[in-house]
Amino acid sequence: PTVAARARDLLLARLPDPPSLERLAAEFGTSPFALLRAFKAAYGLPPHAWLTGERVRAARRLLDAGVAPADAATAVGFTDQPHLNRHFTRIVGVPPGAYQRERKNVQDRAAGAS
C-alpha cells in the first residue's frame, strides 16, 4: 500500500487518539510535507480534515445505535460534545441531538407503518 493508504489505515485504527502529522510521517519514514501532499492527492483532503469527517461518520453510526451525543463525541475522539456539535453541524447540517431525534422519529414511524 502507498504511504497515504497506510496513514489512512493507521488513523482509522487510532480514531479516538490519532498520532500527529509529524509522528505519523516519522512512523512511515517520510517528511510531514511529503505525507500531507501524498494524502491530499489520494483522498482530496489533508489528514486532519479527512480525520474530522471520519469522526463525524463514526459518531453518526453511534447516534444511530442510540448512544448519547456526549458519549459518541468522546468515543470517536472529539474533546467534548460542543466540539462534536460544531463539526457535526457543519458536515451533516444539523446538531447531533437533532439528528438523533429525527432518526428515532423516522424509525418509529416506519415501525408503526408495518
Residues 6+ apart with CB under 8 A from 110: none
Q: Please, are residues 66 and 55 in contact by the beta-carbon 8 Å criterion? A: no
pLDDT digits (tens, 9 = 90+) for 49-103: 999 999 999 999 999 999 999 999 999 999 999 999 999 999 999 999 999 999 8
Q: Hey, is 32 helix, strand or coil? A: helix
Residue 111 has pLDDT above 80, yes or no: no
Q: Which helix (H) or strand (E) holds 19?
A: none
How is the chain split into domains, by residue range? Answer: 1-44, 48-114
Return contacts of 107-114, CB within 8 angstroms, 24+ apart: none
- What's the pLDDT at 84? 98
Rounded CA separation 33/27 (Å): 14
The CATH T-level fold of domain 48-114 is Arc Repressor Mutant, subunit A (1.10.10)
